[in-house]
Amino acid sequence: MKNTSRLCSHKPIVTVNGQFPGPTLYAREGDTVLVKVDNHVKYNVSIHWHGIRQLRTGWADGPAYITQCPIPTGKSYVYNFTITGQRGTLLWHAHILWLRATVHGAIVVLPKRGVPYPFPTPHKEIVVILAEWWKSDTEAVINEALKSGLAPNVSDAHTINGHPGPISSCSSQRGFKLSVESGKSYMLRIINAALNEELFFKIAGHKLTVVEVDATYLKPFKIDSIVIAPGQTTNVIVTADQGSGKYMVAASPFMDSPIAVDNMTATATLHYSGTLTSAQTTLTTLPAQNATPVANNFINSLKSLNSKKYPAKVPQKIDHSLFFTVGLGINPCPTCKAGNGSRVVADINNVTFVMPTTALLQAHYFNKKGVFTTDFPGNPPSVFNYTGAPPTSLATTNGTKLYRLSYNSTVQLVLQDTGIIAPENHPIHLHGFNFFVVGRGVGNFNPKKDPKNFNLVDPVERNTVGVPSGGWTAIRFQADNPGTFYHFFSRTMFSFSYCNYLPRTFHLCTSSGVWFMHCHLEVHTTWGLKMAFLVDNGKGPNESLIPPPSDLPKC
């Protein structure tokens, strides 16, 4: 723990190695990475390496009670995984409770030595982490919400590399300074580590050349503003072509539904060398909070590079066709006085996921009965106008249900937002896989008409994608088979200290293990918008989950 001051107030936060944001983990494609996590806080802890494929190493994926039991106070665990066929910007974060509010950092996977970027090499690379800040203890915030049955309080500020920038209630609050030299180009590795909010990102007077998202290369394009959901990463090139001066860097919320968000804008400064600190900062007009056209302009511009070296291997054949609705519901809660005897929940196909007390992967590997069932529905239990009038009953069913897949099968999954309580953009993250986003639209997915417009040539490849409010997204994925490789080693030690102070469609060719899929808005994950795929082993030695490590935490 570490005592930390923001917004002219103080509180203790959970940190990694005393840092907020946490340290950047650097590695190269092909490296094997070992990270020892020592837990010195009162909470159980687990770390997820968001976007790392974890081929055959599901034990290192990190979500608590899914692939591992959490690390207890005073204990440690070594995460051991190899980065295969990936390069770019990813992130790591806590995957238990709401600890990722402050327990997060960047993963920078450099290309193999001697392999250039598929774009001009920038003069310098800079990690830019966007997040949220609460004056209150975030665990108290969500615990109070669960007790009441209502939504939790929104954050008090957004941050850029840990700093909100000056705000009216705390003018002494400093912001992040991005120093540049005139005429040189800089690659910003932008990460949204916020708990619950999608964000616009913009720099006054400068275009952003987008070259990568979620550690996959794109056809480069220039744009004024990007939108980035929690769990997503975006690499942009900024050329310092304004000669001199100071320019505002801003992160502001995107929400196109009638849902409360933190409306504070985080600010930083792009500062040209030789410019006086007292010089006036050039400001910019930010997108409106509900600027759906601005968001769509960015999202619709994303195309895979699809070059000879980095092809877009979009699956053309489907083994499993699934349709999942994602949204909210209301269940009885006799003790929820503020909610008049009810609580807000979230669900996939009307199933509100119940977290087990034993890790699912351990239960599967050791054949422990009674922990989960494999009857997760492949389609909604009842059909209704998903984006129109809600059904008569808003109640959901509870269960720890998984959907079983055979090894190397391809899956088409349609994720459809619903208008129950309110339509909302849901950034869905699938552990263990990348997928191709082949289509998206507004309204209810039409299985006869919409697939005709899918992009099966150069769709963007991601690990986290937003289901648009009142709409759907279609994604496809082809998994790589585990293979033999040479590797170097990157070693890192993380030490926790208590600071006092919609529809979607996706194709996947699966690898063995239990792979979590959930909304990356932490409030929705807490409410139950999550499920997991159970993928059977294949036939060969490289098609099976490796045995668990000896230091795997016990429940």
- The parent domain of residue 420 ranges over 320-536
What pLDDT was estimated at residue 512? 65
Residue 450: CA atoms inside 13 Å, Cβ hemisphere, count? 20
- pLDDT tens sequence across 384-410: 999 999 999 999 999 999 999 888 888
Residue 400 burial (C-beta neighbours within 10 Å; 0-12, 13-18, 19+):
buried
Residue 500 has pLDDT above 70, yes or no: no
Cα–Cα nearest to 532, from 412, 401, 355: 401
Q: Is residue 496 part of a domain?
A: yes
Q: Is 503 helix (H, G, I), strand (E, B) or coil?
A: coil
- Average pLDDT of the residues in 114-119: 98
CA distance 7 to 24: 25
Residue 483 has pLDDT above 90, yes or no: no
Cα–Cα nearest to 194, from 162, 216, 170, 148: 162
Q: Is residue 296 part of a domain?
A: no
- Write the Ramachandran bin of 205: left for phi over 0, alpha for psi from -120 to 50, otherwise beta: left
The percent of residues above 90 in pLDDT, for the chain, comes to 86
- pLDDT bin (cut points 50, 70, 90) of residue 136 is very high
106 close to 91: Cβ distance less than 8 angstroms: yes
What pLDDT was estimated at residue 275? 96
The percent of residues above 70 in pLDDT, for the chain, comes to 94
326 close to 416: Cβ distance less than 8 angstroms: yes
Q: From the CB of residue 291, how many other CB atoms can be counted at a distance below 10 Å?
A: 18
Per DSSP, 363 falls in state: H
- pLDDT tens sequence across 423-468: 999 999 999 999 999 999 999 999 999 999 999 999 999 999 999 9
What pLDDT was estimated at residue 481? 27
Residue 495 has pLDDT above 90, yes or no: no
Strands (E), 505-554: 513-519, 530-535
Q: Is residue 500 part of a domain?
A: yes
- pLDDT bin (cut points 50, 70, 90) of residue 490 is very low
CA distance 504 to 468: 10
344 close to 149: Cβ distance less than 8 angstroms: yes
What pLDDT was estimated at residue 492? 53
- pLDDT bin (cut points 50, 70, 90) of residue 510 is very low
Residue that is written with structure tokens 């916020």 in the block: 194
- Average pLDDT of the residues in 277-287: 95
DSSP-derived secondary structure for 208-262: EEEEEETTEEEEEEEESEEEE-TT-EEEEEEE--S-S-EEEEEEEEE--SS----
Q: Is residue 396 part of a domain?
A: yes
Overall residue count recorded for the chain in this entry: 555
Contacts for 275 with CB less than 8 Å, ≥ 6 apart: 244, 245, 246
- Average pLDDT of the residues in 544-550: 91
201 close to 190: Cβ distance less than 8 angstroms: yes
What pLDDT was estimated at residue 494? 57
464 close to 232: Cβ distance less than 8 angstroms: yes
Residue 114 has pLDDT above 60, yes or no: yes
What pLDDT was estimated at residue 540? 76
Alpha carbon 477 to chain centroid, angstroms: 17
Residue that is written with structure tokens 């986290």 in the block: 464
Q: Is 284 helix (H, G, I), strand (E, B) or coil?
A: coil
Q: Is residue 277 part of a domain?
A: no
What pLDDT was estimated at residue 487? 33
- pLDDT tens sequence across 36-46: 999 999 999 99
Residue 506 has pLDDT above 80, yes or no: no
Residue 501 has pLDDT above 70, yes or no: no
Q: Is residue 225 part of a domain?
A: no
Residue 186 has pLDDT above 80, yes or no: yes
Q: Is residue 89 part of a domain?
A: no
- pLDDT tens sequence across 75-110: 999 999 999 999 999 999 999 999 999 999 999 999
What pLDDT was estimated at residue 406? 83
What pLDDT was estimated at residue 505? 40
- Write the Ramachandran bin of 67: left for phi over 0, alpha for psi from -120 to 50, otherwise beta: alpha
Structural domain count of the chain: 1
pTM: 0.95
* Residue 209, φ and ψ in degrees, nearest 5: -95, 110
Q: Is residue 176 part of a domain?
A: no
Least confident of 51-65, 124-138, 212-226, 405-419: 405-419
- pLDDT bin (cut points 50, 70, 90) of residue 182 is very high
CA distance 211 to 180: 20
98 close to 112: Cβ distance less than 8 angstroms: no
Q: Is 99 helix (H, G, I), strand (E, B) or coil?
A: helix
Average pLDDT, the chain: 92
- pLDDT tens sequence across 309-364: 999 999 999 888 899 999 999 999 999 999 999 999 999 999 999 999 999 999 99
What pLDDT was estimated at residue 511? 47
Least confident of 90-104, 109-123, 252-266, 398-412: 398-412
- pLDDT tens sequence across 349-371: 999 999 999 999 999 999 999 99
CATH number at residue 389: 2.60.40.420
CA distance 525 to 139: 14
Task: For strands 216-223 and 208-213, give the pairing.
Answer: antiparallel
